[in-house]
């Protein structure tokens, strides 16, 4: 736990998703599946999908503008932009640079971070360190994904899960460090598990149009059963360790905001932590798995719906391909 007397906090949040909605009933016409099958196994009812001609940068910028407005911060006040994504518009330039241009935040540094579904937690922890080292800094953290562009719509094991969207948070110094802000975080990875969730095509090992690689490898592939085992085990460990080493019990927790990957994973974690339903925020039914955008979208909606209130002790936990994992404990 960091003993620095400066504590960073989230000053404002925003979110944006494409207007196009793909329901389970729509998927029934595209692949051999059913609304009942998808709902029972994932908890997802619909997801938002980019239209042709749209890019995820549009929604990253839109979410960022809202976060800045709610924080009362102008783009010129930003010192740094961190975008967590594995589906940027381009390999060069980065998504963060496009967000910088779209906002007119010309004084801010900008870079992308690749940690898959754990990306927002990773980026938030990095922003926390920058603010502690530079207390007057304002850092924009964005989680944005266009997973529909990396989805094989003939693979029912994966196409029912994924959605597109963006969430953003402005991070700055807390004016009440003893009562508000990021308390602690844990980041981790297990590279030995990388074959469980992959997207091999398009990198420098197998570049686009490389005939050595089957077409299916240019889409996201997952070994669902093994991913479930890893996710439930690591998120439980993260939650318990963060609470224990900061002197809190499970009963002290006001809200758990997990990565929205699968309702079964969330319910398993809730059961293991012995938390009532009202203490675990779930919105996977509306958006599916939006990877790095999942937690900021959930945080935004939790606050908007009044589930997340000032003074609440909040725990964010995530896992993602790689495998990466991380958690953040904060006082809202």
List the catalytic residues. Answer: 117, 259, 289
Backbone angles phi and psi of 177, in degrees to 5: -60, -25
* Alpha carbon distance 60, 301 (integer Å): 16
Beta bridge partners of 181: 331
Say if CB 111 and CB 96 are below 8 A apart: yes
Give kind and range of the element (H or E) at residue 42. Answer: helix 35-42
Neighbours of 189 (CB within 10 A): 16
DSSP for 185-250 reads EEEEE-GGGGGGEE--TTSSSS-TT-TTS-GGGGS-EE-HHHHHHHHHHHHHHHHHHHHHHTT--G
Say if CB 250 and CB 275 are below 8 A apart: yes
First to last CA, the chain: 18
SS3 category, 33: coil
- Short-list 160, 162, 137, CA closest to 148: 162
Give kind and range of the element (H or E) at residue 298. Answer: helix 294-304
Burial class (CB in 10 A: 0-12, 13-18, 19+), 211: exposed
Give kind and range of the element (H or E) at residue 83. Answer: strand 80-84
């Amino acid at each position: 736990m960091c003993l620095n007397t400066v504590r960073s906090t989230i000053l404002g949040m925003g979110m944006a998703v494409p207007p196009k909605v793909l329901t389970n009933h729509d998927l029934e016409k595209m692949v051999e599946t059913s609304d009942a099958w998808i709902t029972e196994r994932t908890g997802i009812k619909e997801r938002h999908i980019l239209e042709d001609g749209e890019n995820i940068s549009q929604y990253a910028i839109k979410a960022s503008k809202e976060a800045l407005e709610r924080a009362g911060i102008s783009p010129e006040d930003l010192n740094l932009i961190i975008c967590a994504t594995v589906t940027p518009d381009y390999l060069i330039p980065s998504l963060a640079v496009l967000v910088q241009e779209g906002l007119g935040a010309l004084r801010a540094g900008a870079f992308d971070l690749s940690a898959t579904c754990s990306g927002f937690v990773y980026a938030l922890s990095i922003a926390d360190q920058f603010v502690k080292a530079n207390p007057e800094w304002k850092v924009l953290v964005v989680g944005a994904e266009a997973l529909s562009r990396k989805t094989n719509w003939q693979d029912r094991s994966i196409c029912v899960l994924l959605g597109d969207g963006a969430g953003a948070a402005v991070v700055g110094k807390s004016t009440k460090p003893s009562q508000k802000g990021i308390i602690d975080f844990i980041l981790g990875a297990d590279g030995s598990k990388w074959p469980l969730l992959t997207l091999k095509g398009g990198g420098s090992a197998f570049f686009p149009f490389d005939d050595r690689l089957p077409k299916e490898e240019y889409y996201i592939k997952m070994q669902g059963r093994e991913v479930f085992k890893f996710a439930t085990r690591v998120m439980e460990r993260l939650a318990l360790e963060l609470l224990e080493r900061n002197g809190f019990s499970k009963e002290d927790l006001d809200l758990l905001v997990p990565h929205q990957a699968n309702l079964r994973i969330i319910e398993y974690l809730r059961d293991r932590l012995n938390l009532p339903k009202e203490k675990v925020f779930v919105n996977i039914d509306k958006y599916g798995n939006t990877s790095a955008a999942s937690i900021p979208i959930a945080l935004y909606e939790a606050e908007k719906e009044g589930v997340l209130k000032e003074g609440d002790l909040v725990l964010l936990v995530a896992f993602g391909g790689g495998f990466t994992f991380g958690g953040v404990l904060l006082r809202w």
